[in-house]
Amino acid sequence: MIPSLRVFAARVTGLAISTFARFMTAPRAIWQGIEPVPKQRVYFANHSSNGDFVLLWTALPTPLRRQTRPVAALDYWLTSPLRAFIGREVFNAVLIDRRPEARTEDPVAQMVAALDTGSSLIIFPEGQRNSSDAALLPFKSGLYHLAKARPAVDLVPVWIANLNRVMPKGEVIPVPLICTLTFGTPLHLEAQETKEAFLARATQALLALKGQA
């Protein structure tokens, strides 16, 4: 395809996807801890549905959305040409390989490189979809390494409520129910803070938003 046509197709597809997400979930963004201003951020959210990052991406105002890249699993998004187009061109995702044995690039280095170009990121520190009864799965260490590598960047907890009821795991057709996204107060790695302490603090910050959603 001609490059400009690809860009156009990506824009249209992106618009279609976010319109559909709005129609189904009428997402409501509650900017509790931050203002929706174009500042570089890492949004970290709970992960209960495949639609999570689409919804977060949709809930961001357009200028913020343009500079925000979801971090997604390469082993999922490169399995078909359509997925690859949506992942790469529409969402401009940072594709990381979740399989340590197969990967050639370090995921944290990839995320840091994306931050260094000025992008904001969407990450799901649980590392996989949570279909358990627990509110959150234990966080992977990626968030900590990111906080350590670029301590100035705001790490913003985002609690996504209700999306697991819109589309429970294993279902194909979503039910239109209202979803709420609560944006909390940014976190930074503190001096001398250990990995465990930081991840526990990040987990608590995210869980604290759940009760209010």
Partner 1 sequence: MTSPHLLWLLAGVGTILVVASIIGEILRARLSPTGQNPVIENLNARINAWWVMVICLALAFVAGKPGVVLLFALCSFAALREFLTLTTHNRADHWSLIACFFLILPLQYWFLAGDWYGMYSIFIPVYAFLLLPVISSLRGSTKDFLIRVSETQWALMICVYCASHVPALLYLQIPGFEGRNVILIAYLIFVVQLSDVMQYVWGKLLGRTKVAPNLSPSKTWEGLVGGTLTATAVGTALYWMTPFSPLEAAGMCLLITLMGFFGGLVMSAIKRDRGIKDWGHLIAGHGGFLDRLDSVIFAAPIFFHITRWVWSTT
How far apart are the two ends of the chain, measured CA to CA in Å?
Answer: 44
Give the whole-angstrom CA distance, residue 200 versus residue 45. Answer: 14
For partner 1, the closer of residues 138 and 176 by Cβ is 176
- Residue 120 β-bridge partners: 68
Instruction: Work out whether 1 is an interface residue with partner 1 (CB under 8 A).
Output: no
Place of tokens 């040409």: 81
Place of tokens 């979803």: 179
For partner 1, the closer of residues 36 and 168 by Cβ is 168
CB 123 within 8 Å of CB 46: no
Instruction: Work out whether 162 is an interface residue with partner 1 (CB under 8 A).
Output: yes
Instruction: Work out whether 135 is an interface residue with partner 1 (CB under 8 A).
Output: no
Each residue 11-50 as x (binds partner 1 by CB under 8 A) or -, in order, gives ---------------x-x----------------------
Q: Quick one: 58 exposed, middle or buried, by C-beta within 10 A (0-12, 13-18, 19+)? A: buried
Residues 72-131 that bind partner 1 (CB under 8 A): none
Chain contacts with partner 1 (rule: CB under 8 A): 26, 28, 162, 165, 168, 171, 173, 175-178
